[in-house]
Structure 1
Amino acid sequence: MVIKKVGFSSILISLFLVTLLVSPVFSTELDEATRTVTLDSSGKTIILTPEQVKRGKRLFNNSCAQCHNGGITKTNPNVGLELESLSLATPARDSVISLVDYMKEPTSYDGLYSIAELHPSIRSAEIFPKMRNLTDEDLLSVAGYILLQPRVSPEKWGGGKIYY
């Protein structure tokens, strides 16, 4: 039996290649149809750039995933970030503009009262420091990322604890 000495850099390269093979689709590989999301309640759409998708994912994971990992809502498992739940909210939260509005001024699912003291938002950035430096472009990227996830991970996004 011959034992070959393997260097640390060889191990890192091997791990990188394995990661590429088993990782989910990268934002640069998403086609325009997948990156097309609803902009507003009139049905207008926008095509997110690969950079916006990448930024949205990073910001979502940093600012939102603690409570919404995989599109679930830890505090209320009956309401997730899948399109059905978003469209049934009052007002509907199934477009980029409506999600950006929610991230600025969150309201209860029925839209009757503000939940800014309970839910991270731009309005409550003094309570939730991760929201302090988010720009409108950042919020657009996060909203776009949320809206395209049902196409990227249709069964998993919002699927709850059976996946996460």
Structure 2
Amino acid sequence: MKNLFKIISRSLFVFLTFFVINASNSNAIELDDAIRTVPLTSTKNVTLTPEQVKRGKRLFINTCSVCHTGGITKTNPNVGLDTEALSLATPARNTIEGLVDYLKNPTTFDGLESIAEIHPSVKSADIFPKMRTLTEDDLFTIAGHILIQPKIVAEKWGGGKIYY
């Protein structure tokens, strides 16, 4: 019985050590400045800090991923969060400024009608509680996350059923 306990204990120790080492290595991916640099406006770029990148990812997962897992739009699969689709919206949403504006006052893809009553936004925080506590910095980091993802996962971001 003692030997069995020793074998199980050692096996568990080896497994946990392996798991911790591999888990920490997989989370240790450093994003260089080129990946963290995204358009702030149509003429100016900004480089996000590693902390902003982490925060943006966490906020996106907690606030947006119910409908936008992997950059898709579950309610309208024709419009994803990929850079091309964002650039074709009116006004263009392929910059942090454009995405923050959208998160405050969402409109249809052609920009003609407000959709604040059906899309979470700061404007409609009364009906979308997750939006109530988001600060300007939070919106900035969420937008940064959306714009970094195509550089990290390429065509998978916004790729829809093909990938998710």
Question: Do both proteins adopt the same fold according to a TM-score greater than 0.5, normalized to the shorter chain?
Answer: yes
Could you tell me how far apart the structure 2 residues matched to 1:76 and 1:113 are?
Answer: 16
Quick one: distance in 2 between partners of 1:155 and 1:70? 10
Query: Based on CA coordinates, which of the two structures has the bigger radius of gyration?
Result: 2
Q: Normalized against structure 2, the TM-score is what?
A: 0.90
Structure 2: where are the runs of 5+ without partners? none
More helix by percentage = 2
Distance 1:25 1:108, change over 3 A: farther
- Where do residues 18-29 of structure 1 align in structure 2 (5 Å cutoff)? 18-21=22-25, 23=26, 26=29, 29=30
SS at match of 1:154: helix
SS in 2 for 1:6: helix
Q: Equivalences for 1:7-156 in 2 at 5 Å?
A: 11-21=15-25, 23=26, 26=29, 29-41=30-42, 43-156=43-156
Distance 1:17 1:161, change over 3 A: farther
| Structure 1: unaligned runs, 5 residues or longer | none
CA distance in 1, matches of 2:132, 2:54: 20
> For residues 25-69 of structure 1, what are the alpha-carbon distances to aligned partners after superposition, in whole Å with 9 as ceiling and x for unaligned?
64xx0000110000012x200000000000000000000000000
CA separation in 2, counterparts of 1:6 and 1:36?
47
1:83-128 deviation digits (Å, cap 9, x = unpaired) = 0000000000000011000000000000001000000000001111
- The two structures have a TM-score, normalised by structure 1, of 0.90
Give the Cα–Cα distance (whole angstroms) in 1 for the partners of residues 163 and 68 of structure 2: 13
How many percent identity over aligned positions?
60
CA RMSD of aligned residues (A): 1.8
Call closer, same or farther: CA 1:84–1:18 in 2, change over 3 Å.
same
1:6 paired to 2:9? yes
Moved segments of 4+, more than 3 Å: 7-13, 23-26
Once the two structures are TM-superposed, the CA of residue 9 in structure 1 deviates from its matched residue by: 5.9
